[in-house]
Structure 1
């Protein structure tokens, strides 16, 4: 079997991590099996669908590296195909026009609920042998309903949930086309999956209730239902279903917050799937390991701290040159001119081991691209004790003649510390303050390498007059 999977989002809002996981797993399954992965945009909800939402979906998938074999395919561009199938179903007796008005349907449902019955269409307009239908009302456009099988059950072996059986008596005759001829969601899905030869449908378990209806329509059209794998819900950190209303961040938000796509992909992969104890792995490893048998059955819970930790791991292990390019846009937003000042790759290399996001690297880089601080006498007295000035003078003298590398600077500090019988913090803190007007910096020998010997000596000399 040639594997074909799809991601079929509705472009009616922003795309969050839970949505992206529903793209990641079918993509990985297709890639693992040398199959095809298709993006299908289910945009038949004309009132709520927007081009901006489509753009965010496509951009988010591209950012994560979820490449496509086909698509994006837009359902609204396939309307003629859906209408053709509706016509064929009417001619074959698989569907029928229903003239029950919305008001009549609401009254029927109210009565059923009052009788403690399940609200459902009562088959009034369903043609049956020997049944006389009411005359069609003039000037009323009917909906088209699918003739759902009566009796028996819909059974499928879900790749995540196991065997599922739904009685056909629980299902009424689904509307497959509205009065204006616009096809409905469950019908379009079936036609698309058949036409696109989808072999595996991997999607959220909020679609489980749609599956028996889709299977019945698919079988009526002579198709073989795909393998279904319904993924448990992704919960937010408060234990609620992840959604915009519950504070979920969009994929664009994570980009803007300085997360790496590799970290997001790694994190998403573990939201409902596992491979032994592996926590940090590449996209290539994930594809190699992925199978449906390892999907979890319990809801996955979003853990922002875990995601931040993963992002730190990827930043820490990134190539400094590539990381510098990724960080530059964030540096520019902070007004940093990376072309004037220390080598930006060196700055990023110094900062990356302590940073959780690209924004944190950019914020740390400000130290090296800001003008030399202007200290007044009071500030100098508060932060550079008079007793340490002799050691500072000797440090300046030693720095002037030492080599420009981390080891030489470290040796220079040790020489002065030994000479004056003081501890490292007693000298390093005043040096940090003299250089940057803060005592919070990375290791001082590394800082001197990035800042440069001449600039460091110049800044130190200003505070000991």
Structure 2
């Protein structure tokens, strides 16, 4: 059996879409599982809409996801002449013919058919031209395209997800493969590329099913064995419509910029339409490689659930290595205008650990930790009125005095002071913990208070308690 060769073939006419990312992932998983090859091909035959910038963004997106390709990137635009080199041989088979119909003529005939409320497909006007008629058109330099002559019968293939799919050839029109300007049409270029690259499996969205029937006829004319096909269900929005820019974020790098971890995003999109069995949802890329199979990919579209992504991302952040988390979060601190350069790495690791379980996205971390790096400019209004009442300020005064006498200022020693005071005054822990948190962070929620106090250090804790006790901000 030949080594499996799979490819992801995006068009650089837009950003790397969530759907394309999932397609790339499934190609990658199967290729790695089967000891195959994962190829990146850029399908830039649409010269006017393709751009180098979008190509770079696509490659950047795949790199961020950790989907490293084994070969490529290859560009269709580098092979324009290569495609048309096949035309003389294909013409000899009688399987293609010149079409001299102009766009205007086609529109006129199409409108007549549509007016009768019938479905339009090319009427084969040029399929029956005589040699003399063809030569006359060529002598007058009339532009022409090349069309495939679809035979009678049926076309079918065994899809790895949907099973046998069949269509009567009467429903497939004689489609164009090369335009009148000598540029190849997508369906032709993609088959020639897949044959040249020895692609054995084509995995893509099920919106390509109609293209597959056409492409099978090109394989036939090229006398090439078609690859195995697997057509993935579409990714849907929360209203069960196709996910689009109108209904939500669709660019992969936009999720990166929101603060989604790449491991979390890969894990999340893998499960949109694929269930490995059991109730395990958090999986590494290596685990997915071992578990993946097309038999467990659903035929129906899966919903892109933003709340589930948020949940999954928070789980990954909680379990992320603190050193890696700090490094990947630095751009978000910079974006928020928070300078962390004066704080030791050891302290920064502790700060990361203190808020891991609170953050849903990386962009949350600067806001959750801002009070560690800057003086408090604003206090939560509801928190002030609820927790910084006169009687609680009196408690803070006593606690401040007792904290001043603590020699080894850490989580346990501070907790002991608070616990002893609460027992002495018959107070609930919340009666002194919440006011202290407000005084130290300006917030009603945050990291464990005693861990927070250890990280801030004795001097800063006493300073902020003093500010609240002596100020008139209340």
User: What's the TM-score bracket when you normalise by the shorter of the two chains?
Assistant: over 0.9
Give the Cα–Cα distance (whole angstroms) in 1 for the partners of residues 301 and 191 of structure 2: 27
Task: Give the gaps of 5 or more residues in structure 1.
Answer: none
Give the Cα–Cα distance (whole angstroms) in 1 for the partners of residues 79 and 24 of structure 2: 22
Tell me what 2:178 maps to.
177
Q: Does 1:391 align with 2:395?
A: yes
Tell me what 2:421 maps to.
416
The answer as to whether partners of 1:337 and 1:369 remain within 8 angstroms in 2 is yes
SS for the counterpart of 1:441 is coil
Tell me what 2:144 maps to.
142
Q: Does 1:371 align with 2:372?
A: no
SS for the counterpart of 1:39 is strand
Give the Cα–Cα distance (whole angstroms) in 2 for the partners of residues 121 and 131 of structure 1: 21
- RMSD in angstroms over aligned alpha carbons? 2.2
The answer as to whether partners of 2:187 and 2:215 remain within 8 angstroms in 1 is yes
Give the Cα–Cα distance (whole angstroms) in 2 for the partners of residues 124 and 384 of structure 1: 86
Q: Does 1:454 align with 2:459?
A: yes
Give the Cα–Cα distance (whole angstroms) in 1 for the partners of residues 351 and 57 of structure 2: 32
Give the Cα–Cα distance (whole angstroms) in 2 for the partners of residues 84 and 177 of structure 1: 11
The answer as to whether partners of 1:402 and 1:412 remain within 8 angstroms in 2 is no
Give the Cα–Cα distance (whole angstroms) in 2 for the partners of residues 114 and 462 of structure 1: 81
What is the CA distance between 1:341 and its match in structure 2?
4.0
The answer as to whether partners of 2:358 and 2:446 remain within 8 angstroms in 1 is no
Distance 1:392 1:179, change over 3 A: same
Give the Cα–Cα distance (whole angstroms) in 1 for the partners of residues 424 and 377 of structure 2: 29
SS for the counterpart of 1:126 is helix
SS for the counterpart of 2:127 is coil
Tell me what 2:120 maps to.
119
Give the Cα–Cα distance (whole angstroms) in 2 for the partners of residues 89 and 442 of structure 1: 70
Q: Does 1:8 align with 2:9?
A: yes
Give the Cα–Cα distance (whole angstroms) in 1 for the partners of residues 114 and 395 of structure 2: 87
Give the Cα–Cα distance (whole angstroms) in 2 for the partners of residues 380 and 221 of structure 1: 77
Q: Does 1:31 align with 2:35?
A: no
What is the CA distance between 1:390 and its match in structure 2?
4.8
Tell me what 2:410 maps to.
405
The one of 285, 288, 293 equivalent to 1:283 is: 285
Task: Give the gaps of 5 or more residues in structure 2.
Answer: none
Give the Cα–Cα distance (whole angstroms) in 2 for the partners of residues 373 and 411 of structure 1: 30
Give the Cα–Cα distance (whole angstroms) in 2 for the partners of residues 93 and 372 of structure 1: 80
What is the CA distance between 1:245 and its match in structure 2?
3.5
SS for the counterpart of 2:356 is helix
SS for the counterpart of 1:15 is coil
Per-residue CA deviations over 1:134-174 (Å, capped at 9, x if unaligned) read: 642623111111222x2111110111111111112222222
The one of 340, 348, 351 equivalent to 1:347 is: 351
Tell me what 2:361 maps to.
357
Tell me what 2:193 maps to.
192
The answer as to whether partners of 2:355 and 2:446 remain within 8 angstroms in 1 is no
Give the Cα–Cα distance (whole angstroms) in 2 for the partners of residues 131 and 82 of structure 1: 25
Give the Cα–Cα distance (whole angstroms) in 2 for the partners of residues 106 and 252 of structure 1: 40
- TM-score in terms of structure 2 length: 0.92
- TM-score in terms of structure 1 length: 0.93
Give the Cα–Cα distance (whole angstroms) in 1 for the partners of residues 296 and 416 of structure 2: 54
Give the Cα–Cα distance (whole angstroms) in 2 for the partners of residues 440 and 95 of structure 1: 71
Per-residue CA deviations over 1:326-369 (Å, capped at 9, x if unaligned) read: 11110111111112246221111101111100011111111111
Give the Cα–Cα distance (whole angstroms) in 1 for the partners of residues 384 and 355 of structure 2: 27
Give the Cα–Cα distance (whole angstroms) in 2 for the partners of residues 356 and 380 of structure 1: 26
The one of 335, 339, 346 equivalent to 2:337 is: 335
Tell me whether 113-122 or 295-304 shows the greater mean CA deviation. Answer: 113-122
Tell me what 1:249 maps to.
250
What is the CA distance between 1:124 and its match in structure 2?
2.1
Tell me what 1:71 maps to.
72
Give the Cα–Cα distance (whole angstroms) in 1 for the partners of residues 284 and 384 of structure 2: 50
